[in-house]
A and B are shown apart, each in its own frame.
Chain A
Amino acid sequence: MTLVDYLPIALMIILAVGFCVVMLLLSWRVGPRNPTPEKLAPYECGIVPLQDPVERFPVKFYMVAMLFVIFDVELIFLFAWAVNFESFGWAGIGAMAIFVALLVETLVYVWKRGALDWNVARRLRNRRVVAPDPAEKAA
């Protein structure tokens, strides 16, 4: 593996960008250019926007991103292990089982702490309307 082997990828990316540029130039040549303030306003189905785009959004999205980083690092190690699997045998399986178990433990912990539950508050509220939960009332 030398750097030359990655040349087609660079070329492909250049071709992709070139394709887009040519198409956009064509479109620029053919299409109209007549912007008005109404066209340039944010699209809200014809209603004048009252607020800027949300600057507050559910913290769950951050949680997903953080969990992803943890598991993505795991994946990199898994790939290195998968390629050399033949030469490791049972020892490899044991080592990887311990490593994966540690990460699964993270997942279980996060799961039990409720980080994977979306909309807990709303679900509890809805449940109360339908059928009052005695245990919850006591708490």
Chain B
Amino acid sequence: MNFWLELLLKLALILAVMLPGALVVIFGELKISAHMQSRIGPYFAGGRYGWAQPLADGLKFMQKEDLVPAAADSMVFRLAPYIVLMGTLATYVIIPFGPDLVVENLDLGLFYLLAVSSLTTLGVLMAGWSSGNKYSMIGGLRAAAQLIAYELPLVLAAVAVAVQAGTLSLNGIVASQAETVFTIGGFDVALPFVLKGQIIGFLIFVTAGLAELSRIPFDMPIAESELTMGYLTEYSGLRFTMFFLGEYAGMVAMAAIVSTLFLGGYYLPFVDADLLNVVGPLVLVAKVGLMCFLFIWIRWTFPRLREDQLQTLAWRWLIPAALVNIMLTGIAKVVL
């Protein structure tokens, strides 16, 4: 097949899976949060179960006026949502859906993730700074401080995985979780990293990941009760939708990364490599769904952290714990 055509087809396929995936997660959040609060949730758009609610929301936002406040730095204000969505969508390129089902298996995969996820911070800071609004400014600063503080434990937890797998390529990391650990009665048992000594790393990664997504309990940048809507205060219409979509697309991406690094990614035991190209995407989607449910569950279970508690958790607990985790992983790997 033509090189360009194949590439475009792959990218279109990824977008066609991941963007509706974000819509499904939005719907899931509406419905699950409703049931957790003894409500019914959306039930009008799209029949009895309200499945078309996210689409209806999108259409509604599209018909709204796209305002740029007079006090705003117009150019930066308009560019910010692009940068947020760009950073989020760029992570999709390296997520493996099967042994061969990956757009680009970068050798530097994990490192690339670190680089691209920083783009979102930039976009959020741009949005907060350029809005010409107090709430936006404070929200943007809080967001920047939070995103960079939690990027450290996130990446340190990923380094421990890299030590154990011996590679930064995401396909390589999944492959090393498919290696046989022990054999029971003729069956080769392979364990994902979360069961192979990375349980601390997994907990750190999920906590820091939630903070990177600015979700409750880490939603100080938005904090409706004190900052209106944080850095999103002045955004309206479709530019707001782009941030909103970026947030949920980011949640899907984070869930996919957690699944790949710690839960074995597309790998399913007792299935050989050829079949894995067919079953793999389904397995990954199931794991992503599970992680997204966990994120939503946590959101409706814990109260919001204060700004100082937030920074304390990152610097005094997660970063030292992640460093210890790396050392323990290293020692365990040399000894065993």
Q: Interface on A for B, CB 8 Å cutoff?
A: 1, 5-9, 11-13, 15-17, 19-20, 23-24, 26-28, 30-35, 37, 39-45, 49, 51-54, 57, 60-61, 64-65, 67-68, 71-72, 75, 78-79, 82-83, 85-86, 89-90, 92-93, 96-97, 100, 104, 107, 111, 116-119
Contacts and interface: CB of A to CB of B under 8 A. Distances in A.
Interface string B50-72: 00000000000111111111110
Contact of A78 (B86, B148, B149, B156): B156
Nearest to A35: B67
A45 B10 CA distance: 46
B69 A85 contact: no
A16 B152 contact: no
A75 B238 contact: no
Contacts, number: 200
Given A75-B114, A83-B162, A64 B228 contact: no
A107 to B, nearest CB: 7
Contacts of A60: 145, 311
B320 A104 contact: yes
A68 B163 contact: no
A19 B85 CA distance: 10
A72 B152 CA distance: 7
Given A13-B90, A16-B85, A100-B323, 10 more contacts: A35-B65, A39-B67, A44-B134, A53-B132, A61-B141, A79-B159, A79-B168, A93-B327, A100-B327, A118-B311
B311 to A, nearest CB: 6
B152 A31 contact: no
Nearest to B136: A53
A75 B168 CA distance: 13
Looking at A5, A24, A35, which has the most chain B CB atoms within 10 Å of its CB? A24
Contacts of B168: 79, 82-83
22 contacts: A5-B106, A7-B7, A8-B11, A9-B104, A15-B12, A16-B89, A27-B61, A31-B62, A37-B70, A42-B132, A42-B234, A53-B137, A54-B134, A65-B144, A65-B145, A65-B148, A72-B151, A75-B114, A104-B323, A111-B315, A118-B307, A118-B311
B21 interface: no
B59 to A, nearest CB: 9
Interface in B64-95: 64-71, 81-82, 85-86, 89-90, 92-93
Interface of B: 7-8, 10-12, 14-15, 61-71, 81-82, 85-86, 89-90, 92-93, 103-104, 106-108, 110-112, 114, 131-138, 141, 144-145, 148-149, 151-152, 155-156, 159, 162-163, 166-168, 228, 233-234, 237-239, 241-242, 307-308, 311-312, 315-316, 319-320, 323, 326-327, 330-331, 333-334
